[in-house]
Chains A and B, each alone.
Chain A
Amino acid sequence: MFVKFGVRNDLKVAIIQFPGTNCDIDTYRVFTNELVIDTSLIWHEKDVDLQEYDAVILPGGFSYGDHLRAGIIAAHSPIAKQLKKLSLRGKPIIGICNGFQILVELGLLPGALLRNSNLRFVCKWTVLKVENTNLFTNCFESNSLIRMPVAHNEGRYYVTDETLQDLERNKQIILRYVDSSGEVSINSNPNGSVSNIAAVSNTEGNVLGMMPHPERASENILSPYSTNDGLGIFRSMALSLEVMLQK
């Protein structure tokens, strides 16, 4: 179980809102109530310099109604262009669900997110294995099993075999869907993702895309298992930032 406090109070986190984003407030509530971090909701047309923030979250939802292809219109918005610069400077960026789709469309993460293999929207709690600990997962032990829900139509992560090998080698696979005993299996894969991949990072490790929703798994009362593993993702990022900023 993750405690609420214990991060420095001068961190600034931005949550970007596009038309159709619908997990913005949920994520904001976790950052402000559970982590007590100074967090701003930023409407995509607002004239701001994202470089002023220590980290940026692209929350889930249906930006632009998923028209054309999930995430692609948001990826062409002016604010999204700032994300590339931010990423180059090594600042943490998390894309959750639709945010992951946007990061893939932006080219900040490899691969593509295709229609679920059963061709249906899927909303359910999943068991995830922490494959690699990095700045978003260092609160967890490596290989630990955590629980978060997924809710998406296009969550089937796809990369070529070659890229998959690169991802493995560079330790970019952060979370995998597994069964309750920790085995990677067909039944535990909710969407048909290659190699049961649920979350990946870029090679530098500062950009994370994940289909599961950590903000929905950050309070025990919302979890059928009385867990708050999702908070571990955000807390890992906050603690890592603390270390980064001290340097």
Chain B
Amino acid sequence: MSKLESINLSLTSSELEYIEKSLQRKANLVELTMIDAQWSEHCSYKSSKSLLKLLPTKGKRVLLGPGYEAGVLDVDNGQILTMHIESHNHPSAIDPYGGAATGVGGVLRDILSIGTRPLAILDSLRFGNLDSTNSKWLLRNVVRGIADYGNCVGIPTIGGELSFDSCFETNCLVDVVCIGVGKRKQLIYSEAKNVGDILILLGGRTGRDGIHGSSFASKDLEDEPEDRSAVQIPDPLMKKLIIEATLDALSTGYVSGLKDLGGGGLACCLSEVSDMGNTGVEVDLGKIHLRESNMEPYEILISESQERMLFVVNPNNSTEILKAFDKYNLPYSVIGKVTDSKNVVIKQNNKIIVDLPTSLIANAPLINWPKTKPDHLNNISHSKPELPSNIQETILKVLSSPNLANKSWIFSQYDHEVGTNTVIKPGESGASVMRISNEKFIAISVDGNPSHCYLDPYNGAAGVVAEAMRNVISVGAEPIAMLDHLQFGNPGNSDVFWTFNETINALSDFCYYIDLPCVGGKVSFYNEDAKTHEAIKPSPVISVAGLIKGSHNIRTRKISTSHPVIVLVGTTFDELGGSEYYSVMNNKNSGIVPKLNFELEKKAQKLVRDGIKVGLFGAVTDCSKGGLVHSLLQMCMSGDIGASVDLSKIPTNCKRWDDILFSESHSRFLVTIKEKNLVNLLNISRNHNIPVSIIGYVGGKDLELKNNDDVLFSSEITYISDSVYSSLSKLMDDAV
């Protein structure tokens, strides 16, 4: 039996029938392997495509939306912002270092493929609880993988977020966002549209790593050691050189199409460029520079070896382009040409071994899975934890949760300064800010909330978008677009698919309402526990980009006595389901998840944006995970100064102090203002028809929480930052 016959294809019997009917013949095994790679869930979106159409994708700044290598936004003066999100969950679960590093490599290539220079990276990470050594091992090596790759390539990793939940114990989530900037006129498509153009494969040699990577990402994770060959090998130095060589080559103006080789390798790349260009391609496998000599044709075609780009070039102009590659001593080979056959033809030793219509490979038949509402959503208890007797102790206990802790153990391993454009750095606010010109800045956030989404998929998902928006608004930006990364279990499980559908409905409803276009995203199914096969909690991760004009509009959460009055925008409701407080108090999976009132959210966002525009606010932050008390403390720690807050001044329907402090209600911000501007604030509040309340003052060394004159809590800020919020560093430093 040859190696090819022994490989497992994921194609179903109905898919095989469909292929045979379309071709009017049986496909050979090499052809089937190519189709298998392209029709994997990872590359084809066959389970999600029809639902994803519900998302709004148009907007005044949107030049390209989903379906391209990256979303492209017009940020004025001929400048464009590109953004994309990718995950590398299954590879990272098996080889956290290599999996995370190549995850970064992949998303950098997407930004490069569209003709822009990567500007910054953010990551969103999910692991099991840190009491497990496996989770610590995963976290340590995922962070090292991201750091070693991003640092070496010289693209700053400027932010992100992290949380822990036992559902991610064996299936961690590693999501990477990349943004890029470039000139509108240098935008390039991943298409082979001119017959006669040549195909040049630039970069790393093709080897046996990453074989079946995309199919591997499209099935359940089983504990099979041979899956290690599905993980690719990172080479950040090569990537750095490829970025420079590609941008040099693009500046010649002679490149007519460009695409990176990612999931599904050459097989997917060739079918996608020819499908988009409405042409065919012919490739000679003997021309491809290989790492190993005796590779089978199917291995060459679906290898996901890293650091490779495909250039489509007019043969008369190739000299200039090859000169750019030679400067960096990069390997390349001319592997074939664009034809008018509308077929992908692969030759080896002058024999045709693959001859398939591009439209067949590029368009997998879609699947519509059955949907049922999961049982646990019909039986949510509304029990509350007993009112804690020791307030001080309880607050400190919640704040020491690794989910809320200071994440400097992670971001100090990332070079977040390289490129000299990072204005708001990781840990300084809910979003980071990059300079793209003297007067223009991009704010970028990435957020998720599996606990909310598990108990209420609709409000959970819409709430994540709202939080990501509030984070960019808090640094002074106008939100301009978002990316969604939807991570779920097996779509064949009707509970999972119902939840997926509900999530899309929420994103669609809220984004249409608030006028936020979705310019790209990713779907990752088959995320489940390797042993129990239980699906992960629904994990939509949302990244929002915002535009800031003028550095004077940039804000952080750093409070100071220059703006001493602390003001809460919005109302705090008795909705603690899925909160960090309930998780710490062992009251998980109980209670009402914060509802996103679209109208209230829009008003609160508008008020804060207007207030920043007229220069009313000093510090700004939103209230979300960990509730009001967590936001207050973050403000104090950033400013290295205390504050005194009177809980009786907070508009709320809560009856208990713990509910007020830890409620994660949406549509709330904390801002600081000058005493003399209180009148202006009240006017703004009246105009926007949303409550603003003066709840306290900046000053001293302690955070003091009072109910009228009763002091409920008082603790020194330096004690909290050194001893309470350092829990993550302590857990990781102590770990072997």
Contact = CB atoms under 8 A, between A and B. Distances in A.
Contact of A216 (B147, B235, B417): B417
Nearest to B435: A221
Given A61-B154, A151-B418, A121 B147 contact: yes
B428 A224 contact: yes
A224 B425 CA distance: 8
Given A22-B153, A22-B240, A62-B151, A221 B417 contact: no
B413 A122 contact: yes
Contact of B415 (A30, A67, A151, A215): A151
A23 B420 CA distance: 9
Contacts of A218: 420
Given A26-B418, A222-B422, A123 B413 contact: yes
Q: How large is the interface on B (under 10, 10 to 19, 20 to 34, 35 or more residues)?
A: 20 to 34
A77 to B, nearest CB: 13
Interface in A46-68: 60-62, 64-67
Interface in B377-430: 411-423, 425, 428
Q: Which of B152, B241, B327, B411 has the most CB of A within 10 A?
A: B152
Nearest to B413: A121
A121 B420 CA distance: 18
B328 interface: yes
Nearest to B441: A221
Contact of A67 (B237, B416, B435): B237
Interface string B176-197: 0000000000000000000000
B148 interface: yes
B237 A151 contact: no
A150 to B, nearest CB: 9
A122 B423 contact: no
B708 interface: no
A19 B417 contact: no
B551 A221 contact: yes
A123 B329 CA distance: 31
A29 B420 CA distance: 9
Given A26-B418, A66-B152, A20 B240 contact: yes
A198 B73 CA distance: 42
B236 interface: yes
A92 interface: no
B431 to A, nearest CB: 16
B251 to A, nearest CB: 15
A95 interface: no
A65 B237 contact: yes
B155 to A, nearest CB: 8
B237 A20 contact: yes
Contacts of B425: 224
A17 B114 CA distance: 26
A222 B423 contact: yes
Contacts of A99: none
A188 to B, nearest CB: 14
A43 interface: yes
B721 to A, nearest CB: 14
A66 B235 CA distance: 12
A61 to B, nearest CB: 6
Given A20-B152, A66-B152, A221-B423, A121 B237 contact: no
Q: Which of B328, B425, B551 has the most CB of A within 10 A?
A: B425
A121 B154 contact: no
Contact of A26 (B240, B328, B420): B420
A215 B420 contact: yes
A66 B236 CA distance: 11
A120 B147 CA distance: 10
A84 B154 CA distance: 28
Contacts of A61: 154
Contact of B414 (A23, A29, A30, A123): A123
A124 B412 CA distance: 6
Contacts of B416: 123
A65 B152 contact: yes
Q: Which of B147, B420, B423 has the most CB of A within 10 A?
A: B420
A121 B327 contact: no
Nearest to A27: B420
Contacts of A242: none
B240 A19 contact: yes
Nearest to A65: B237
A116 B330 CA distance: 32
Nearest to B422: A222
Nearest to A213: B417
Contacts of B415: 121, 123, 151
Contacts of A66: 152
Given A22-B152, A221-B551, 4 more contacts: A26-B420, A43-B327, A62-B152, A149-B417
Interface of B: 144, 147-148, 151-154, 235-237, 240-241, 327-329, 411-423, 425, 428, 435, 551
Ordered nearest first, which 6 A-B pairs have the shortest CB separation? A22-B154, A65-B237, A26-B420, A62-B152, A151-B415, A216-B417
19 contacts: A19-B240, A20-B237, A22-B153, A26-B420, A61-B154, A65-B237, A120-B412, A120-B413, A121-B414, A122-B413, A123-B151, A123-B411, A151-B415, A151-B417, A153-B151, A215-B420, A216-B417, A221-B551, A222-B417
